[in-house]
Structure 1
Amino acid sequence: MSTDPLPQPTLTDGTVTLRPWRDSDVRPTWEGHDEQVRHWYGERERPSLEQWREIVDTWRREHAEAGRTSFVIDVDGEPVGTVELRPVDEHTGELSYWLYAGGRGHGWATRAVRSATDWALTGADQGGRGFTRVQARVEPGNESSLRVATRSGLRREGVQRVAPGTGDRAEAEEYVVLARLASDPPLSEPGAFRSLLNSFLPRKRAIAQMLIRDEATPVPRVLLCQLTYKQDWDLPGGVVEVGESPQVAVGREVEEELALTLAPGRLLLTDWLPPWGGWDDALCLVFDGGAHPASITERIVHQAREIRTAEFCTAEQVAERCADFTARRVAAALATLGTGDGPAPGASYTESGRA
């Protein structure tokens, strides 16, 4: 990667200006170097004025020597914060940013990060930095910095874990990774705004299961699977893939795991599963798999990687073999089937199997 010195530009959106450091910036930014800056910057104590002067001088040298650019965020001639852009590789730059005491709560950080990102993604032939990707890594607890990144058009991509003591701060355990690409549409376009929202809005895991019953018994027996990856038994089914219909998913899972081709019926139950045993929370949707002859189990070819065996179980066996919340879910799903000649009740909603 070329490290030829690049002239540091001055950028402005009419309200916030990004410019090179001046000697006169050292004292006011040092005075604004409060506990919040020290915390997220990973400092145990405030640097002395002379140490801060040396840090600023280092930033100036690194722009000329290594392409690491540190801008002062200037509002009405006063330094209020810093935006820094570091090269990660030939195509990627990484942002960091902070506002000093007295400069927060005005939206200046968002304006500054937008300007820095636009410049970084502009081609070198047009006076930009020429990166194709600009990213930021923000600790999950730093909510203000996460808001700045998303409002600046950086999409949330995932979470990067770090070994203890290897992050920017000794306490850091993980970072949220956010990024903009040069090929992303302008933020003014509706599709770009929707994609941005979609990147950071909560996502819920969905599980689709099928309630398959033995038609010969007056009190329904239900088909349960003994799984390889946990001790308790469960209804057949599995995780819904991204972009997949839950109803399609449960049919696919039953065919993959048991080699049974059954058309999923109506939705019987939506059960919210709270976080448990290392799993995040999820929604479990139980679909009607119909009543079938007990001999259907003879057609089962179970997927050995996940399924040990599958068989029809009585209510007593369900209680004995299943986790308590699974047994409650099975009972709640059966209750929605209705009795007699009248119409069946509608789908029910439970939380961990409880109404």
Structure 2
Amino acid sequence: MTQEPTTEQTVAHTVAEGVARLSWAPDEPVDVVRREVAAALATHARVEALVDPDDEAAQRVATWSGMRREGIMRGVTVDGSPVDRIVYARLASDVPVHEPEGFRALLNSFLPRKRAIAQLLARDTDDRVLLCQLTYKQDWDLPGGVVEVGESPHVAVAREVEEELGLTLPAGPLVLTDWLPPWSGWDDALCLVFDGGAHDASVLEQVVRQEREIRSAEFCTLEQVDERCADFTARRVRSALAGLRGDGPAYTESGR
């Protein structure tokens, strides 16, 4: 059994004020667990379960009993050894699952989430590309950043450019969607590159760097892009420029 503690039936234990933790036997029907969730919420504000990430059956029971997936609790001690557990929980204040909003919230809790990055392809009148030298890595990159939860990527890229460079550069149409595979501790992500327009090189005189993240900003030739950027970034820049001309792909993976 993947729950703590192993039992012969569904049991709710009070683990903190207003919090009940549920465990159940491996073959316990979902409707039994669902009833125990409701019973526990009659006397607790929260009912939760800790589920083994390798136990898909227990994950299904937790979900269809009405508990939302909240995340991974790392290093939980079970039988003297640290293990990871998925935290599922339901609050007494949650919208009932039989109502559309409650059902959507339940689905939303376990469906995949993908990180989005918004970048701006801004050029000068000599077709050089605006790049930023970053403080937290050696290679250069297009201006932009991570899209916040609930934020439009189109809004995010303009916000990031203003925060990092002090420039107001409206974002134009999307020119490239580039998928980035998992790498060096990062989950995979979608990088959305927007047309940043062509500007006089003197626009750099208006830059006010966010010194915590930006060392410098410069319009660069494609040769400099290849020298200064990671290979996948250089490929993304070239693919985005081709998309801007109308003879490139709309979608790439690591710039390819």
User: Structure 1: which amino acid aligns with 2:154?
Assistant: Q
Partner of 2:174: 267
* From 4, 10, 14, the counterpart of 1:83: 10
Shift of 1:192: 0.8
Matched, 1:154 2:154: no
User: Structure 1: which amino acid aligns with 2:50?
Assistant: R
Superposition pairs of residues 131-210 of structure 1, within 5 angstroms: 131-162=44-75, 166-169=76-79, 172-210=82-120
Matched, 1:118 2:38: yes
* From 303, 325, 337, the counterpart of 2:232: 325
Q: Distance in 2 between matches of 1:41 and 1:251?
A: 46
**2:58 match: secondary structure:** helix
Does the CA contact (< 8 Å) of 2:178 and 2:255 recur in 1? yes
How high is the TM-score relative to the length of structure 2? 0.95
Q: Distance in 1 between matches of 2:121 and 2:197?
A: 7
User: Structure 2: which amino acid aligns with 1:196?
Assistant: L
Shift of 1:170: 5.1
* From 234, 239, 253, the counterpart of 2:141: 234
Partner of 2:255: 353
Shift of 1:185: 2.1
Q: Where does structure 2 lack aligned partners over 5 or more consecutive residues?
A: none
Q: 1:170 to 1:234 in 2, by over 3 A?
A: farther
**1:167 match: secondary structure:** strand
Higher relative contact order (CA 8 A, sep 6+): 2
Q: Percent identity?
A: 61
Q: Distance in 1 between matches of 2:69 and 2:47?
A: 12
Computed over aligned residues only, the root mean square deviation of the Cα atoms, in angstroms, reads: 1.9
Shift of 1:171: 5.4
Partner of 2:158: 251
Superposed CA deviations along residues 108-135 of structure 1, whole A, max 9, x for unmatched, are 431121111111111xxxxxxx111000
User: Structure 2: which amino acid aligns with 1:115?
Assistant: R
User: Structure 2: which amino acid aligns with 1:135?
Assistant: E
Q: Distance in 2 between matches of 1:41 and 1:190?
A: 29
Shift of 1:89: 1.2
**2:193 match: secondary structure:** strand
Q: 1:42 to 1:240 in 2, by over 3 A?
A: closer
Structure that is richer in strand per residue: 2
Does the CA contact (< 8 Å) of 1:213 and 1:312 recur in 2? yes
Matched, 1:211 2:121: yes
Q: Distance in 2 between matches of 1:242 and 1:41?
A: 31
Superposed CA deviations along residues 221-262 of structure 1, whole A, max 9, x for unmatched, are 101001111111000000000110000000000000000001
Partner of 1:94: 21
Superposed CA deviations along residues 181-225 of structure 1, whole A, max 9, x for unmatched, are 11112221111111100010000000000001011x2xx210100
User: Structure 2: which amino acid aligns with 1:136?
Assistant: A
Does the CA contact (< 8 Å) of 1:225 and 1:307 recur in 2? yes
Partner of 1:293: 200
Larger Rg: 1
**1:310 match: secondary structure:** strand
**2:29 match: secondary structure:** helix
Q: Distance in 2 between matches of 1:245 and 1:275?
A: 23
**1:353 match: secondary structure:** coil
Q: Distance in 1 between matches of 2:3 and 2:90?
A: 23
**1:336 match: secondary structure:** helix
Q: Where does structure 1 lack aligned partners over 5 or more consecutive residues?
A: 1-36, 44-54, 56-69, 71-80, 123-129, 339-343
How high is the TM-score relative to the length of structure 1? 0.69
Q: Distance in 2 between matches of 1:144 and 1:170?
A: 24
Does the CA contact (< 8 Å) of 1:268 and 1:346 recur in 2? no
